[in-house]
Amino acid sequence: MRGFAHLGLLILLLIGIIAGVYLVTSGNLNFLPIAKNGEIKFVDYNNPSQEITSTYIPRVKVRLSAPWPFKTISSPIKDVTTVKITLAEDPKFSRNTKSLESPFDLTNKGQLIVDYSFSEATTSTKTNTKKTKKEEKPKGEKKVLYAKFESSNNKSKVKNATIKLLPAPDSIANLLLSTTAADLLPDEEFSVNLLARSDQAEANLFVAKLNFSKEFAEVTSIETSDSFISPSFFTEKKFDNSEGTISLVGGVPAPGYKTQGEDKVMAKINFKAKNNGLFDLQFASDSAIYRNLDNKNILDLKNGIKIPIGGVTVSPSPQSSDTESSTSPTPSSSPGEGGSTDGSTKGDGNGDGKIDLEDLSILLTYFGSSDLDENIINLDINNDGKINTFDYSGLVALLKSSGVIS
């Protein structure tokens, strides 16, 4: 019994520790950041052995921009009037200490954006996106900074923490093709698997645009019964043998889908061989995989495939897309750049004045949520105060009417 009592006390202690760091309540303002390109660890300032790590907390963001981080901190608390952030290189806050204070403007999502550099003894701040001082690039790279967060509300309280910034690879994702077809002859049928992979970050929208050599084979059907994407969230699934094109668009609502070191089947494409030659199937440049965290395109590698038909001596082998860059992906806009720009806001989840696939990714990020800001509320198509399947269907209809999908 004593062992159970000790276990119960330990559980309560852990819950208390976690609650003290993770929870944002009307009485306390405690930040637990995430990192887009790295890992953030918070350590209790008064008890450094108590370390808590997280990969996703909504509404709080940290972006690493080597060699120094760029921080965006926002809070859903309604009664916070100011927030003060103190940063230092020294745990005693006695050396190279920078303090930044900003009001929370609820009309602008209550943002305080901070650029900082201690090694050059220069600091620049952005309050509600207005830059006040230009930052000089620092020399070297810091791995550890110490921070204190203080909020001003009905029950003001200071939270001390240590922030450790650990560099990690950029989030990347792949689209691949595979087949077991060999020694094909005209009129024979074969299949190609469309595979997706995103090991480093959850993705919520997968866009595969394919071009194929229509003179050598034609599509007979597309199967998605074994796909990681639910049938109800396959937005587009079509092919055109006269043009030699295939388009597959499917989503996974928040928290999205993350692979564990292996490629997963998105769809199975069935073909029928037509003529002797080298059948070529490649990804188009407007293919994309959108990250659930920030709705950016993180597609890096696109491997097409070439398959000989009728005794051609070239063996089947994956081929990197001609449009592919060898560098890490730069976050890009939606492939549906011809989206609606008629001035209406319904369906425009990022406020860029158009409706495209990035907006669909944003909707999937907020799927099931009723906590909607000024842009996200535009994705509430049926105006019921939450994002659900009705809004998903409504946005798909808007994308079709604007020609982004068909």
Contact criterion met (CB below 8 Å) for 237 and 273: no
Opening angle at CA 283, ends 347 and 357, nearest 5: 5
User: pLDDT of the chain along its 406 residues, tens only?
Assistant: 555 555 554 444 333 333 333 222 222 223 333 333 333 344 433 444 444 333 222 222 222 222 223 333 333 333 334 445 555 555 555 655 555 444 433 333 333 333 334 333 333 333 333 333 333 333 333 334 455 544 444 443 444 444 433 333 455 899 999 999 888 999 999 999 999 999 988 999 999 999 999 999 999 999 999 999 999 999 999 999 999 999 999 999 999 999 988 999 999 999 999 999 999 999 999 999 999 988 989 998 898 999 999 876 554 444 555 433 333 344 444 444 445 444 458 999 988 899 999 999 999 999 998 878 777 899 999 999 999 999 999 999 999 999 999 8
Give every CB contact of residue 235 below 8 A, 6+ residues apart in sequence. Answer: 249, 250, 251, 360, 396, 399, 405
**Where does residue 222 rank: exposed (0-12), middle (13-18), buried (19+ CB within 10 A)?**
middle
Contact criterion met (CB below 8 Å) for 365 and 254: yes
**Residue 248 pairs with which residues in a beta bridge?**
208, 237
- 200/37 Cα distance (integer angstroms): 10
- 226/186 Cα distance (integer angstroms): 28
- 397/402 Cα distance (integer angstroms): 9
Rounded to the nearest 5°, which phi and psi values hold at 402? -90, 0
pLDDT at 10: 45
Q: What tokens does 243 get?
A: 């043009």
- 274/94 Cα distance (integer angstroms): 76
- 202/169 Cα distance (integer angstroms): 15
Contact criterion met (CB below 8 Å) for 297 and 332: yes
- In three-state secondary structure terms, 364 is helix
- Tell me the HSE value of 352 on the side-chain side, using a 13 A CA sphere: 16
Q: State the span(s) of the chain assigned CATH 1.10.1330.10.
A: 333-406
Contact criterion met (CB below 8 Å) for 142 and 118: yes
pLDDT at 40: 37
Residue type, 31: F
**Which of the listed CATH numbers 2.60.40.680, 2.40.50.140, 3.90.870.10, 2.60.40.10 matches domain 173-320?**
2.60.40.680
- 30/33 Cα distance (integer angstroms): 10
The full DSSP string for 255-321 is: T-B--SSS-EEEEEEEEEE-SSEEEEEEE-TT-EEEETTT--B-EEEEEEEEEEESS-SPPPEEEE-
Q: State the span(s) of the chain assigned CATH 2.60.40.680.
A: 173-320
The full DSSP string for 6-54 is: HHHHHHHHHHHHHHHHH---SS--------SSEEEEEEETT-TT-EEE-
pLDDT at 344: 55
pLDDT at 39: 35
Query: Which among 191, 184, 214, 180 is positioned nearest to 270, based on CA atoms?
Result: 191
DSSP letter at 213 equals -
pLDDT at 89: 54
**Residue 267 pairs with which residues in a beta bridge?**
194
Which CATH class, in words, describes the domain spanning 333-406? mainly alpha
Q: What is the largest CA-CA distance in the chain?
A: 79
Contact criterion met (CB below 8 Å) for 395 and 360: yes
pLDDT at 309: 94
